Copies of this chain bind each other. A is one copy, B any other.
């Protein structure tokens, strides 16, 4: 997986910082997560191929997470897109986009599918042969979801030397990759583990923004590889965090610790802070593996 942070600051876009947007690349699929104003310019700056984006996930309808969506939908048309585009987000997102297309008398050249979300339980919103995406219901001032992106396990890799040494015919290779044991002509059973190598472990990534500290998400993100969790504030502004239903860096770290994730990535910093290193320092008092998102930063895992 490759995660490109297009923007990770709260509230308004500024000269050198951008509101929330990320590109997650999994097995040659590009998923766009949230889409603050200016996201399409950030895509250009980060040399992301527009045409490879087929699925856009919007956490909630606060402007710093979706005001750039209508611009991208329109730009796709100007770029001559013909591939389907799927948008996943709260109820109302379809009305906002279609109203603007209608008033501009500028319909898309491509098919636009809206998957409006309203459940308060985690649900599968996307699935193909390689990837599955589930919602992570969050607690914020308006209806909000995080998203859990999970690779499906690859098939087992054929140990070609072992297979040949047993003189197994090619027509059985697919069964072996699928994990099956093999019965030889002389009746011997060869266990699959002797004929294959373990595949690269499937990875998973959770995006959780915006949310107040909420332990109910822990069971949904247990043991995952990377958790992006919002940390709008430091504990010194803890009261403000609770009032606005955001989290502090310390609270994000507690969630990471309880969920036993491998890596915590912090983001959605309030623009009041000049030095984002303070977020890392605060979180590291609770949880050791902390990285800071910043606009243009790329994580590979």
Say if the beta carbon of A67 comes within 8 Å of chain B: yes
Whole-angstrom CA separation of A78 from B64 in the bound complex: 11
8 Å CB interface, A54-102 against B: 61-63, 67-68, 70-71, 74-75, 78-79, 90, 92, 95-96, 99-100
Q: A104-B63, A106-B63, A141-B105 are in contact. Are A13 and B71 (CB under 8 A)?
A: yes
Nearest residue, chain B, Cβ from A65:
B104
Q: A61-B100, A68-B37, A104-B62 are in contact. Are A11 and B78 (CB under 8 A)?
A: yes
A41 at the interface (CB under 8 A from B): yes
Q: Note all chain B residues with C-beta closer than 8 A to A68.
A: 37
* Docked pose: A293 CA to B176 CA in angstroms: 67
The answer to whether A14 touches B44 (Cβ under 8 A) is: yes
Counted per complex, copies of this chain come to 2
Q: Which of B13, B71, B90 contacts A67 (CB 8 A)?
A: B71
A45 on the B face (CB < 8 A): yes
Task: Say yes or no for A184: interface residue by CB 8 A criterion.
Answer: no
Instruction: Give the Cβ gap from A54 to chain B, nearest Cβ, in Å.
Output: 19
Q: Which of A11, A38, A103, A141 has the most CB of B within 10 A?
A: A103
A74 near B78 with CB under 8 A, answer no
Partner of A96, one of B40, B63, B103: B103
A98 CB, min distance to chain B CBs, angstroms: 11
A142 within 8 A of B: yes
The answer, yes or no, to whether A219 is at the interface (CB within 8 Å) is no
A159 within 8 A of B: no
Contact with B along A269-288 (1 / 0, CB 8 A): 00000000000000000000
**Known A67-B70, A67-B71; 13 more pairs at CB < 8 Å:** A12-B71, A14-B41, A15-B44, A37-B68, A61-B100, A62-B104, A63-B71, A63-B100, A67-B74, A92-B103, A95-B99, A99-B99, A104-B142
